Structure 1
Amino acid sequence: MQHLSWLEAAVVGLLQGVSELFPVSSLGHSVLLPAVIGGSWARDLDVASPESPYLAFIVGTHVATALALIAFYWRDWLRLIGGLFGSIRHRRMATPDERLIWQLVVGTIPVGLVGLTFEHWLRTHLGRPVPAACFLIVNGLILLGIEWYVARSPAREHAMDAVPAEVPGDRIADGVAADARLSQMSFAKALAIGSVQVLALAPGISRSGATTAAGMGAGIRREDALRFSFLLATPVILAAGVLKLPDLFGPLGDGVRPQVLVGSLLAGIGAYISVRWLTRWVHTNSLRPFGWYCLAAGTACLVLFAVR
């Protein structure tokens, strides 16, 4: 039976937590890193294999990443869930919180349906090094392309600035202000942005990168688009992990559960630090560095695989 080493669990767990929220694709990195290292790493960490303990490991890290997002946005989620219950109770969508929570629900439906139907096929057919490297290059082009587009259409990025402004240094007030702006978008736009998450089922395409780019292209400013991306991702990542929990507690988890625990802990820590850092970064910086990284990393992997 294959097992995960403690080093593999620690390294990949931390990598997964960081890259899940950075716009560089955690699944792509989870496929590419073992292939680049080779040897037992390539054997033990094969996401395309239906019998690999790596699947149980990925389940744990996904749950940990979702919990890190919930921990970071817990006040916002309490407010939004309150808006959901208020909306149901009064049969209305009058407040920004009531509108935004339903926009998140609508935006989550497409990836949920596609993921339940095609996740296994996509993982076993595309979860291989060469396709992952190619998709990582595509992800880089998406990030660079949206920044190029926004730079030439600056008015579009600030189309929702009418209400209200941030309070410098007050993250709670900033969140309320951002959600008020996001709630102004149409449900069709929320559905379109949420649908882009489907692309992230392909290893190498980042969920946060694709949805942030879609939001920016729809006229939402960069930091608000990233926030909407993280809010959209939380239920998707959590559901993906919870639905696969039987894998962790079934035969695939035998012999690797302690390593899964360590990897998940590091994934959660990495994810929390990442979301905290990235939400500050985008206020004054672009996504171009991540785009150039994806192009360089994907190209380097393709060259390596070709000459090896």
Structure 2
Amino acid sequence: MHLLTYPEAIVVGLLQGVTELFPVSSLGHSVLLPALIGGRWARDLNVSAPESPYLAFVVGLHVATALALLLFFWRDWVRILGGFFSSIRYRRVATPEERLAWMIIVATIPVGITGLLLEHTFRAVLGRPAPAAVFLTLNGLVLLGAERLRRRAEREAAAAVVLAPAMAEVTTGGGHRSPAAAVTAPDRTTGDPDERLASGTFWRAVQIGSAQILALLPGISRSGATMGAGLLKGLSHEDAARFSFLLATPVILAAGVLKLPDLFGPLGDGIHGQVLAGSVASFIAAYLAVRFLTKYFEHRTLKPFAIYCIAAGLASLAWLALR
């Protein structure tokens, strides 16, 4: 049996920490990178192999990534957990913290159930380089589509705002402005971000959270799917990214914790040091990634990541076909 080397562990750990949060698919990159490098990397880092130590290694990386998210958003999670316990104590869902806590819970249920039922099947059947390259390309197209539909909705909303005063004058005889003339576009960037998220409906939260199911396909990004869904449901880029990271934390942490016994069984034999090294690398990379992305999405879009996914997916397909 081939064991992971420390260079492999550190490189993949860094890759996991970045690509889990960037909307470019960590699983897709974890499948494609070893295949593109070839040789020992392709043998050691085969996610579809039934008894590969790589599976136990990935467990440690997921836990490290979730811990980085918890550290970065620790103030938010203190408020969210406080809201959860206060809602249980007082049997209500009234405050923004209470609403956000239950939004995260109900939004996580669909992907949790689907992951338990289908994760192994998807990984075994589709966790190979060619399908991963195809889904990575599709991931880019999905991100582009979400941005395009969002811009169209914004143009229609802006046109409605422009027409509102004129329509109001027509309906009131033209001489006096009605209250409708004061209509302005809603500002989705002011106030507390958690309060903005909590002001939405639970059904919207479930729809956005359910987009994480797509990430079971290697090459489809969890953060990309939820951010795209958030944009289509009217969230700003900043709020869509924030909600995506909050939703991802319990899912990634639960996926890691449920499989932690693998690290202490036969799959983890001989790689505990590599798991530690990779996990430290993943933690640092994930923390820096989320810190960068929360600032990035204040003023920028998903388009650069979409272009990267399409280019990387097509290039990987071409390389695999020519080898």
Query: Which range, TM-score by smaller chain?
Result: over 0.9
Deviation for aligned residue 1:161? 3.4
Residues in 2 aligned to 1:122 and 1:69: alpha-carbon distance in whole angstroms? 26
Residues in 2 aligned to 1:116 and 1:159: alpha-carbon distance in whole angstroms? 42
Pick one of 215, 225, 240 that aligns with 1:210. 225
Deviation for aligned residue 1:113? 0.3
> 1:184 is matched with which residue?
199
Contact 1:136/1:294, CA 8 A, preserved across alignment: yes
Matched, 1:161 2:187: yes
Deviation for aligned residue 1:184? 1.4
Deviation for aligned residue 1:151? 1.8
Residues in 2 aligned to 1:32 and 1:256: alpha-carbon distance in whole angstroms? 22
Residues in 1 aligned to 2:154 and 2:296: alpha-carbon distance in whole angstroms? 19
- One-letter amino acid of the structure 2 residue matched with residue 133 of structure 1: A
Identity of aligned residues (%): 63
> What is the TM-score of this pair, normalised by structure 1?
0.94
Deviation for aligned residue 1:127? 0.5
> 2:304 is matched with which residue?
289
Matched, 1:143 2:158: no
Residues in 2 aligned to 1:161 and 1:262: alpha-carbon distance in whole angstroms? 44
Residues in 1 aligned to 2:186 and 2:45: alpha-carbon distance in whole angstroms? 44
Residues in 2 aligned to 1:65 and 1:199: alpha-carbon distance in whole angstroms? 19
CA offsets 1:214-269 (integer angstroms, 9 cap, x no match)? 01001111110111110000000000000000111110000111001000000000
Matched, 1:250 2:265: yes
> 1:23 is matched with which residue?
23
- Across the aligned residues of Structure 1 and Structure 2, the Cα RMSD in angstroms comes to 1.5
Deviation for aligned residue 1:160? 6.5
> 1:237 is matched with which residue?
252
Pick one of 220, 224, 232 that aligns with 2:235. 220
Contact 1:134/1:204, CA 8 A, preserved across alignment: yes
Residues in 1 aligned to 2:5 and 2:119: alpha-carbon distance in whole angstroms? 26
Residues in 2 aligned to 1:187 and 1:160: alpha-carbon distance in whole angstroms? 20
Residues in 1 aligned to 2:297 and 2:154: alpha-carbon distance in whole angstroms? 15
Q: How does 1:1-308 map to 2 (within 5 A)?
A: 1-154=1-154, 161=187, 165-166=190-191, 177-308=192-323
- 3-state SS in 2 of match to 1:153: helix
Contact 1:147/1:287, CA 8 A, preserved across alignment: yes
- 3-state SS in 1 of match to 2:109: helix
Residues in 2 aligned to 1:7 and 1:194: alpha-carbon distance in whole angstroms? 35
CA offsets 1:69-91 (integer angstroms, 9 cap, x no match)? 00000010000100001111111
Residues in 1 aligned to 2:128 and 2:256: alpha-carbon distance in whole angstroms? 21
Deviation for aligned residue 1:102? 0.3
Residues in 1 aligned to 2:306 and 2:313: alpha-carbon distance in whole angstroms? 11
- One-letter amino acid of the structure 2 residue matched with residue 161 of structure 1: D
> What is the TM-score of this pair, normalised by structure 2?
0.90
Residues in 2 aligned to 1:244 and 1:81: alpha-carbon distance in whole angstroms? 24
Deviation for aligned residue 1:60? 0.3
Residues in 2 aligned to 1:10 and 1:87: alpha-carbon distance in whole angstroms? 42
Give the count of matched residue pairs.
Answer: 297
- 3-state SS in 2 of match to 1:51: coil
- One-letter amino acid of the structure 1 residue matched with residue 230 of structure 2: G
Residues in 2 aligned to 1:92 and 1:198: alpha-carbon distance in whole angstroms? 29
Contact 2:237/2:300, CA 8 A, preserved across alignment: no
Residues in 1 aligned to 2:186 and 2:142: alpha-carbon distance in whole angstroms? 23
Contact 1:108/1:194, CA 8 A, preserved across alignment: yes
Residues in 2 aligned to 1:130 and 1:22: alpha-carbon distance in whole angstroms? 21
Contact 1:160/1:182, CA 8 A, preserved across alignment: no
Deviation for aligned residue 1:152? 2.0
> 1:170 is matched with which residue?
none
Bigger Rg, which one: 2
Residues in 2 aligned to 1:90 and 1:54: alpha-carbon distance in whole angstroms? 46
Q: Which moved more, 1:152-161 or 1:92-101?
A: 152-161
- One-letter amino acid of the structure 1 residue matched with residue 187 of structure 2: D
Contact 2:17/2:281, CA 8 A, preserved across alignment: yes
